[in-house]
């Protein structure tokens, strides 16, 4: 199976900050990486698909980038509602694998 | 409104069985591959199973293979996950998730989750 890692596992930030979350895969996966946001007690929500495609309704302060084995989710101008856990997930080869998550907290 | 609503979670003893259902509304279930993803308390997301549009092809994580069965009734717009021979480590919130239109494992709609607790 493809291994997916994320860093950092958690970070502290303030409203208005720029936050960067990294995701790395154990082998090249082109752009088959997707990012989800999960607020405690809620289901995950798809933010970015295929490394950089922002989903409809997702604020423009979220941006994804990367190709191959290294990917990044950037939040520019952190808002109170952005404090959550973020997961990347590969779909290049089955089974789909999620990263361990990055918790963004105050 | 496009949504998935799950039901059927609960408390079950080790070795027991349970069926979780996921009912779709606002879209045609038969047009989408569907997946199950679980999340143990305080842990991350783990893929469990998937089923193609017609129900003829299924796949499972090694940890549940031979114990869990995914199925669907497109006429009823409902997806199912039958959980047998349950173990303590199967305790989790089980989410059904819709794969985007081309069948790729990109989950654009999620259910609210069904909590399954395995304990004596």
The pLDDT of residue A106:
81
Pick A75 or B103 by higher pLDDT: A75
Over 90: is that where the pLDDT of A81 sits?
yes
Contact A96 B105 (CB under 8 A): yes
The pLDDT of residue A52:
98
Residue of A nearest to B112 (CA): A43
Rounded Cα distance between B111 and B113, Å, is 5
Tens digits of per-residue pLDDT, A39-76? 999 999 999 999 999 999 999 999 999 999 999 999 99
pLDDT band at residue B88 using 50, 70 and 90 as cut-offs:
very high
Rounded Cα distance between A87 and A44, Å, is 9
Tens digits of per-residue pLDDT, B40-79? 999 999 999 999 999 999 999 999 999 999 999 999 999 9
The pLDDT of residue B52:
96
With DSSP H G I counted as helix, E B as strand and the rest as coil, what are the percentages for chain B, rounded to 5? 10, 50, 40
Contact A95 B59 (CB under 8 A): yes
Q: What are the phi and psi torsion angles at B105 (to 5°)?
A: -75, 65
Tens digits of per-residue pLDDT, A16-31? 999 999 999 999 999 9
Q: Is B90 left (phi over 0), alpha (psi -120 to 50) or beta?
A: alpha
Give B-chain residues touching A42 at CB under 8 angstroms: 112
Q: Name the pairing type of β-strands A53-54 and A70-76.
A: unpaired
Contact B45 A45 (CB under 8 A): no
Q: Could you say which DSSP state residue B33 is in?
A: -
Over 90: is that where the pLDDT of B108 sits?
yes
The pLDDT of residue B101:
73
Give B-chain residues touching A50 at CB under 8 angstroms: 106
Mean pLDDT calculated for residue range B89-107: 94
- Helix (H) or strand (E) holding B107, with range, is strand B107-110
Instruction: Take residue B106 and report the two structure tokens written for it.
Output: 């990109």
């Amino acid at each position: 199976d493809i291994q997916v890692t994320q860093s950092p596992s958690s970070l502290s930030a303030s409203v208005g900050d720029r936050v960067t979350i990294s995701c790395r895969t154990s082998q090249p996966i082109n752009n088959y990486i997707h990012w989800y946001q999960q607020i405690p007690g809620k289901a995950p929500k798809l933010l970015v698909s295929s490394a950089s495609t922002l989903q409809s309704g997702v604020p423009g302060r979220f941006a994804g980038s990367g190709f191959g084995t290294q990917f990044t989710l950037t939040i520019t101008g952190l808002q109170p509602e952005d404090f959550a856990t973020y997961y990347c997930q590969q779909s290049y080869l089955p089974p789909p694998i999620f990263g361990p998550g990055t918790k963004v907290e105050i | 409104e496009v949504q998935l609503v799950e039901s059927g979670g609960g408390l079950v003893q080790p070795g027991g069985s349970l069926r979780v259902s996921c009912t779709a509304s606002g879209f045609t279930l038969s047009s989408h591959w569907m997946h199950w993803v679980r999340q143990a308390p305080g842990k991350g997301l783990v893929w469990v199973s998937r089923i193609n549009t017609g129900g003829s092809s299924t796949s499972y994580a090694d940890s549940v293979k031979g114990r869990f069965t995914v199925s669907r009734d497109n006429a009823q717009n409902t997806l199912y996950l039958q959980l047998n021979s349950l173990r303590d480590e199967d305790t989790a919130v089980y989410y059904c998730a819709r794969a985007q239109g081309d069948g790729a494992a990109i989950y654009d709609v999620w259910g609210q989750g069904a909590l399954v607790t395995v304990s004596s």
